[in-house]
Structure 1
Amino acid sequence: MGDHRYDLSHLPDSADAGANEPAARAARRDRAVRAAVAQGLVGPDEPIAGLLDVDGIRATAAFLHAAFDAVTAPGTPVLHAFAVKATPLVPVLRLLAEAGLGAEVASPGELALATAAGIPPERIVLDSPAKTPAEIREALRLGVALNADNPQELERLDAILDGATPSSPVGVRVNPQVGGGSIGALSTATPTSKFGVALRDPGARDWVLNAYAARPWLTRLHAHSGSQGMPLELLAEGLGSLYDLAEEINEAAGRKQIDTLDIGGGLPVNFHSDADDPSHAAYAALLRKTVPGLFDGRYGLVTEFGRSVLAKHGTVLARVEYTKSAGERPIAVTHAGVQVATRTVYNPESWPLRIAAFDAEGRPRTGDTVVQDVAGPA
């Protein structure tokens, strides 16, 4: 997708709270579709395009900052590190960096994208569960924060450091094992989830305490309890376990060894409307109520939201190339298939998409609706 920009200067400024209301989003989307058709971004020779609502993205970034500012003690360092996997495009990462976000990366490629977007190393977090020695050395060289996933990785870090103190902030990822949500593949806090140290397994908590006692340079603790499909209360329960563990580690150390808690992302997205439900503000307020110690200023915070930052601001615009029928069921054949909607194609119940029809000039179609299938290449 090219870095095309269209003129939306006539629309509300992103600093205006109304700019992110569902009606305003829908209005910008409809006007952007017309502009894309008029400017030739989509048509007979360019049958598919991805549009991003820049004003909406900026507004959501501002609301994310405001949501946590409202519940944290003044002066608390908070880094919102956008999960690069959600939209691994340099122009998007650059836009988010301009809006005050950092980056959470899980591969050398994602790290390269973040640095290409101009995000400084101190605003990047590396969370891959399968870091090679070369990846670890590069993160340490750059000063990128990293979270060790398991005991073997921590031993690998020991060997690489060879007694030296890392210049990067380093933590350990734990799995609080509080349960799963409605999408099993995205539930990362079940008893058998594959990420982090399984905190409730026999001996695991003692191992974590001993690991921190032996390594004064471990200054962070990380948990990410799930993504789409996780109820907020379960996410909060997982972070309550994270906070309790940090308190226990610091008490055992007799000092503030852990100074930063990485609370992950995972805010679920409502795919059925343009409304933010739940919102970052609602989630932050729930965390403030259930785990107040997270926000009293004793711990810096890192978040890793991805999908919830951009999900309401993207539109795939696809030309209907043919119409036909099969078994008396109408089919619209487009250029948007499994290559742009992989999860929806294979698991539509968990990953629904809203579909709208526009005419050849990019205006919303009116009239009676017709139930039909939308097809695309696979």
Structure 2
Amino acid sequence: MRIHEAGAMHGDFSALSPAWLGVPDDVNALLPQLWASGVERSDEGVLHIGGLSVDELATEFGTPAYVLDEDDFRARCRAWAEAFPDADVYYASKAFCSKAVLRAAAEEGLMVDVCTAGELAVALAAGVEPNRLGYHGNNKSQSELRRAVELGVGRIVADSYTEIERIGAIAAELGTRPHVMIRVNVGVEAHTHEYIATAHEDQKFGFSLADGDAYEAARRVAASPDLYLAGLHSHIGSQIFDTSAFEVSAARLVRLFAKLQAEIDEPMGDLDLGGGFGMAYTSQDDPQPPSDIAASLGKIVQAECDAAGIGAPRLSIEPGRTLIGPAVFTLYEVGTVKPVMLSQGASRLYVSVDGGMSDNIRPALYDASYSATLASRSSSAAPALARVVGKHCEAGDIVVKDEFLPADVAPGDLLAVPGTGAYCRSMGSNYNHVPRPPVVAVRGGQARVILARETVDDLLRLDVG
């Protein structure tokens, strides 16, 4: 049984909290796997990142705010690049997209994946070379495809027959020959949330392997004089901890790869296994290090290629949230604390913060679990079962569904929620007309804003009346 970050279970909260969440021995303790490497707690109990206290950050930049440990993010990029020295490692812009972050990823040797004109524009503004970009998406517009072909992006991942026709027509008109990969729906059911499992049959992405569409799509690209079939791509889902699904996916991809390689004139170069590797949001999560994943996937692909009698293709990998997710925490200020009596005399603290589902929709959308800690001081109070909620007019506006916080948590305290780098700011909204928080990067004892806080004036500027 996994234990809560602050200690083992020694109380009966089973009716109110999940089995993995134990009552902490020390409610002030931090579980290292949830936090960026530069985060620590001072003797006074104040959270610090890169030598700066959260009190200083809150005073200068306000709350709520996303706080990025830039050195931690860069180190994670390097770790994946070093684990896959002979592969292309792609940073997924959709997880979090800003000029500073995409520039840092490229500087650490990563490629960049985009799926819209907006993400492409940010990548170019960050100085990422077009040939180091991959372009995803199930419904790329004519203008998006034209821009990608004009720029000479490294690869376009085709998702439909219509898209193949569009790319071919644009390429013929422009007199260029773009590299196209086929997104293959391998029919693997990843053990993750339904909405982030992306390789089963009944969903919008890719060409089905089972009914022959993937083979036919690849044949059409290979037969076109205006397109180059660069390889095959698959993505089975997100927040995956078990590589067994990748074994099945790789086996099916390699078999198709071998069949196509035997039939087409030009050799394909790449096999992209996707990504979606899990990160730690709570103590129940146990992610593998990049080196272990690389070793496992390398053995899987080599074994399948040996069985098919072909040489191993060049691999691509997309680590996704594991790069940016753990490098960021969200800093909130507590507004109200309300004890709510439940059945059999039990109670739960409802701790309301100055953000909510507009800065982290994942708990409401995916029933995602997060952790939290009192960040502005230490406490000797007993741990109390708490629920951290936002300020929005929704009962489902929950930031952290279950957590133990000090019983004396009070208005004005700062709370920190780790693991918010991926899909929080990216999926942020202005629900209830709440401006989105800033992103503050910390490096070398210095803090700077890399995405500015929105203001009410920003909202009104778009409301033309």
TM-score by length of 1: 0.82
Q: SS of the counterpart of 2:374? A: coil
Structure 1 residue aligned with 2:202: 192
- Supply the distance in 1 between the matched residues of 2:364 and 2:244 (Cα, whole angstroms): 30
8 Å Cα contact 1:337-1:345 kept in structure 2: no
Structure 1 residue aligned with 2:67: 51
8 Å Cα contact 2:239-2:278 kept in structure 1: yes
CA offsets 1:180-232 (integer angstroms, 9 cap, x no match): 3231111111122311101102x425413532441362222211111124632
Structure 2 residue aligned with 1:162: 172
- Supply the distance in 1 between the matched residues of 2:220 and 2:231 (Cα, whole angstroms): 12
The structure 1 residue matched to 2:150, chosen from 141, 153, 176, is 141
The structure 2 residue matched to 1:117, chosen from 118, 122, 126, is 126
Tell me the CA shift for residue 168 of structure 1.
Answer: 3.1
8 Å Cα contact 1:43-1:319 kept in structure 2: no
- Supply the distance in 1 between the matched residues of 2:186 and 2:231 (Cα, whole angstroms): 16
CA RMSD of aligned residues (A): 2.8
8 Å Cα contact 1:25-1:274 kept in structure 2: no
Larger strand proportion of the pair: 2
The structure 1 residue matched to 2:77, chosen from 61, 65, 81, is 61
- Supply the distance in 2 between the matched residues of 1:340 and 1:299 (Cα, whole angstroms): 41
The answer to whether the aligner puts 1:253 opposite 2:264 as a matched pair is yes
- Supply the distance in 1 between the matched residues of 2:55 and 2:106 (Cα, whole angstroms): 30
- Supply the distance in 1 between the matched residues of 2:203 and 2:311 (Cα, whole angstroms): 31
Query: Could you list the runs of 5+ residues in structure 1 that have no partner in the other structure?
Result: 1-20, 70-75
The answer to whether the aligner puts 1:321 opposite 2:335 as a matched pair is yes
Larger Rg: 2
- Supply the distance in 1 between the matched residues of 2:191 and 2:209 (Cα, whole angstroms): 18
- Supply the distance in 1 between the matched residues of 2:34 and 2:359 (Cα, whole angstroms): 26
CA offsets 1:303-356 (integer angstroms, 9 cap, x no match): 2222011222111111112223344543222113101221113443xx211111
8 Å Cα contact 2:34-2:280 kept in structure 1: no
- Supply the distance in 2 between the matched residues of 1:37 and 1:152 (Cα, whole angstroms): 51
- Supply the distance in 2 between the matched residues of 1:64 and 1:297 (Cα, whole angstroms): 23
Tell me the CA shift for residue 32 of structure 1.
Answer: 2.6
Query: Which letter does structure 2 place at the counterpart of 1:355?
Result: A
The answer to whether the aligner puts 1:353 opposite 2:364 as a matched pair is no
Pairs within 5 Å for 1:9-24: 22=33
The structure 2 residue matched to 1:80, chosen from 62, 65, 89, is 89
Are the structure 2 counterparts of residues 241 and 152 from structure 1 closer, same or farther at C-alpha, using a change threshold of 3 Å?
same
Larger helix proportion of the pair: 1
The structure 2 residue matched to 1:225, chosen from 236, 241, 250, is 236
Tell me the CA shift for residue 28 of structure 1.
Answer: 2.3
Structure 1 residue aligned with 2:105: 96
8 Å Cα contact 1:212-1:249 kept in structure 2: no
8 Å Cα contact 1:339-1:377 kept in structure 2: no
The structure 2 residue matched to 1:174, chosen from 175, 181, 184, is 184
Are the structure 2 counterparts of residues 191 and 23 from structure 1 closer, same or farther at C-alpha, using a change threshold of 3 Å?
closer
- Supply the distance in 2 between the matched residues of 1:204 and 1:308 (Cα, whole angstroms): 32
The answer to whether the aligner puts 1:331 opposite 2:342 as a matched pair is no
Query: Could you list the runs of 5+ residues in structure 2 that have no partner in the other structure?
Result: 1-31, 42-46, 342-346, 393-465
8 Å Cα contact 1:105-1:111 kept in structure 2: yes
Structure 2 residue aligned with 1:374: 388
The structure 1 residue matched to 2:300, chosen from 272, 290, 293, is 290
Q: SS of the counterpart of 2:52? A: helix
Tell me the CA shift for residue 120 of structure 1.
Answer: 0.8
8 Å Cα contact 1:79-1:123 kept in structure 2: no
Q: SS of the counterpart of 1:207? A: helix
8 Å Cα contact 1:178-1:238 kept in structure 2: yes
- Supply the distance in 2 between the matched residues of 1:45 and 1:114 (Cα, whole angstroms): 26
Tell me the CA shift for residue 163 of structure 1.
Answer: 7.4
The structure 1 residue matched to 2:363, chosen from 338, 344, 353, is 344
Q: SS of the counterpart of 2:288? A: coil
Q: SS of the counterpart of 1:332? A: strand
TM-score by length of 2: 0.67
Are the structure 2 counterparts of residues 121 and 29 from structure 1 closer, same or farther at C-alpha, using a change threshold of 3 Å?
farther
Count of paired positions: 344
Q: SS of the counterpart of 1:372? A: strand
Query: Which letter does structure 2 place at the counterpart of 1:234?
Result: A
The structure 2 residue matched to 1:32, chosen from 25, 48, 60, is 48
Larger CA deviation: 92-101 vs 24-33: 24-33
Structure 1 residue aligned with 2:461: none
8 Å Cα contact 2:113-2:133 kept in structure 1: yes
Are the structure 2 counterparts of residues 190 and 105 from structure 1 closer, same or farther at C-alpha, using a change threshold of 3 Å?
same
Tell me the CA shift for residue 254 of structure 1.
Answer: 4.7
